[in-house]
Amino acid sequence: MAKDSQKLIANNKKVFHDFFVEEQYEAGLVLHGTEVKSLRMGKCSIKEAFVQIDKGELYVYGMHISPYEKGNLFNKDPLRTRKLLMHKEQIHKLAGKCKEKGYTIMPLQVYFRDGRAKMEIGLCRGKKLYDKRQDIAKRDQRREMEKEFKIKNLS
C-alpha cells in the first residue's frame, strides 16, 4: 500500500507574519496538463495569491505557475484564476466566516499528495502592527534563550 507521501512545491511564510491563521484546510487544485509538469519541476509562487468564494465555489487568484518549456501552444496563462476543490459544507462554513469583519482566506502551501496537486488554505485574520512587533519580540527572546542554553552546554 502507498504511504501518505507529500512533496512540497511552494510555501507562503509571509502569511504567518501578516495574519493569524485560525483554521487550515486542504483543497484540490484544478490544473491543465503543462501546469502539472511545471509544478512537478517546482516552478510555482503563491506569495501574491489569495482565495475568494464566487457562486459557492473557491478560486485562487494571483498564483503564478511558470509556463512549461516544452509545452509551446498547450501552455496556459501563468496567472490565470484556478478553481479549488472542497466539500460544499466546508465552503459554506468558510463563506460564513469570511463575512465576518477582518477574515480572509489565504493559500499557505502547494504540494503533491499521492500524485495529486493540493493546496493548504487558511482562514486568516489580519494582524495589526503591534501584533507583529510582539511576534518579533517573542522570536528574539526565544533566540536569546537558545543561544544562552547552547553556551551553557558547551562550557
31-58 pLDDT, tens per residue?
Answer: 877 888 888 888 888 888 888 888 888 8
Q: Are 85 and 27 in contact (CB under 8 A)?
A: yes
pLDDT digits (tens, 9 = 90+) for 89-124: 888 888 888 887 778 888 888 888 888 888 888 888
Residue ranges and CATH numbers for the domains of the chain are 7-127 (2.40.280.10)
- Is the model's pLDDT at 13 over the cut of 80? yes
pTM for the predicted model, two decimal places: 0.71
Query: What's the N-to-C CA distance of the chain in angstroms?
Result: 49
Residue 70 has which C-alpha cell? Answer: 516544452
Segment 124-145 shows an average pLDDT of 80
- Is the model's pLDDT at 1 over the cut of 60? no
Segment 15-36 shows an average pLDDT of 83
Q: To the nearest whole percent, how much of the chain has pLDDT over 70?
A: 90
Q: Measured on CA atoms in the order 97, 99, 100, 106, is the torsion positive or negative?
A: positive
Q: Are 61 and 47 in contact (CB under 8 A)?
A: no
Segment 54-73 shows an average pLDDT of 81
- Is the model's pLDDT at 155 over the cut of 70? no
